[in-house]
Structure 1
Amino acid sequence: MSTKTLAQVEEQFETFQILNEEGEVVNEAAMPELSDENLQEIMRRMVYTRIWDQRAISLNRQGRLGFYAPVAGQEASMLGSQFALDKDDWILPGYRDIPQIVFHGLPLHQAFLWSRGHFAGSQFPDGLNILFPQIIIGAQIIQTAGVALGLKRKGKNNIAITYTGDGGASQGDFYEGMNFAGAYNAPAVFIVQNNRFAISVPVEKQSAAKTIAQKAVAAGIEGIQVDGMDVLAVYSATKQARERALAGEGPTLIETMTYRYGPHTMAGDDPTRYRSSDLDDEWTKKDPLVRFRKFLEKKGLWTEEKENEVVEKAKEDIKEAMKQADSAPKQKVTDLIGFMFEDLPHNLREQMEEYTAKESK
């Protein structure tokens, strides 16, 4: 491909936006049909998630939670896309994508148990169409292609959607999963939340491509880059991708341009080592909650009183969910062994006998 041809391809992937940083509509034609109640619910979920994130960071520092990946800054990308789904669609999350699966139906206390590594955190309620959050970066993308193909073969009118970060787009699984889904015209939506730094490596050093969205071209599927701080743009792009998939028009790759305000995870990451304060300030001005709040206030749909009610509700729910998580039975080694296989092989039978004896003392 010549440089000129490459430039022509890259020019096709302009960032899709509906609301600017001041909460003003800049793309009236793309405005999704959402009721006032829907708009308020989206804001409620974003505010709720911001409070939950703040509390989870505090709980992690207290030693009351285990693994945790902060989400502040990515609420529009996460919740705008999930709001476009049907309850029977399948979500295959990465380890940061806990808000999506909670609002899809996972009880909050189970999210806390998952963070602690407790097996009950992955024992989902019947009818909840999610897989447990994937720790292996990018592995969920191949799984999504398989789930989507299964939905197609069974004649289901639903999709499979997955999330990864810009670092996940550098994995081999990313290309393999999209290529497979494209080849079989599977009803899948792949969302890459480009927060620019993966774990610590700038996106410019991960790929020579100007956008991640353009990588859809090689897989023969649709691709779009979206302002990931604009919840209406994310919702609209996901809704259209879902409709295309259900119409038999194949998968879509959505790149959401977003930013995580906190560290990659709470496991010792220090973002000041690879991000400048000027860049942090630039993206703080794009805060998805501030932007959407301005939009709703102009429409008379949001007030400080409403927001405070959501904040207090989130705090109460988190407190209750932690109580439930704390009351879960202590995890035993025999529990872990017993969940591995329906029929234990010889070596695990020996270990089961050994630990059963130890635990009975």
Structure 2
Amino acid sequence: MAGMDLLDGLVERARSGGRATPDEARAVLATGDGDLLDVVAAAGRVRRRYFGDRVKLNYLVNLKSGRCPEDCGYCSQRLGAGSGVLSYTWLQPERAAEAASAGVAAGAKRVCLVASGRGPTDGDIDRVARTIAAIRDRHPGVEVCACLGLLGDGQAGRLREAGVDAYNHNLNTAGERYADICTTHTYADRVSTVDKARAGGLSACSGLIAGMGETDDDLVDVAFGLAALEPDSVPVNFLIPFDGTPMAGRWELTPQRCLRILAMVRFVFPDVEVRIAGGRELHLRTLQPLGLHIANAIFLGDYLTSEGQAGRADLDMIADAGFVVESAEESTLPAARRAAGVPVGVGPSAAPVRADLVRVRRRGAGTDLPPNA
């Protein structure tokens, strides 16, 4: 059993800005289902200390889909994938701005611009700059995060000049097993890109994917690898095992396991934005609202190549769970909080999922918001 002493100690330390040790993180992951509500409640106390009752909404705009030369084993857009996802080249700026407007109108505070591929060319950065200008023309105050792959020297600075606020590049899994999921680039390449993003003045967004056959030790290793990079946002993805990828048919996660992973991440990142990302609906299922008591951010609507929960259902879930959507006027970037020296927002085993429940995202599917592409 977890033991209330462990959880109380983690909460007390986190409320003062300290994080769990690796051994404590492993202990959280090793808790049983009988302790689950205690674990969620303890993580929830930390979440409310720094983020109150607010949920930050993020909205994905897929600028370029498919045709990726990388061989990441989890990805439906990988080299040679037979997943049948929608594939297209760069969206025109106005079309991307139209897609972004759908999310902003529904309450999204951050627009995440994503493009498949190994990394951006200088011409790609010019395209992204034009897209950001079109978005900001409609929504001057919206946060913009870019996710364009591996960055070259000087590219982070150019993105910053173009109006990018944050850069997402996930570490995904522990360094020692990275070659098990990808051979066309390395864990060190990913670390380097996050470092370049931060050095270029961008807020670092970097997280993990659970459900790829990793052990508890692997999860703890990637969590502390992320901690060394000091990200401002940590997205936690749960594997969507697309047909046509090496990880097709891999259904290892239960809702209870997902909640323990989220809690472990929260105790390692007490005052950092923790976002429930891809796979939320498939793996947390009816326990999604409990995830909101641990994480303080989610994606609204669809993901890159798979359908998400309908946008209206996301908003209803947030309200029904007693949370509110974070407004554009509320500043919650951890870097700003740390600079000010005060917390922001202080306030009040299931059966495996069938593979046929993975819905490949196609034009207009899976949300009552306009499609991203």
TM-score range, shorter chain: 0.3 to 0.5
Between Structure 1 and Structure 2, the one with more strand by share is 2
TM-score by length of 2: 0.35
TM-score by length of 1: 0.36
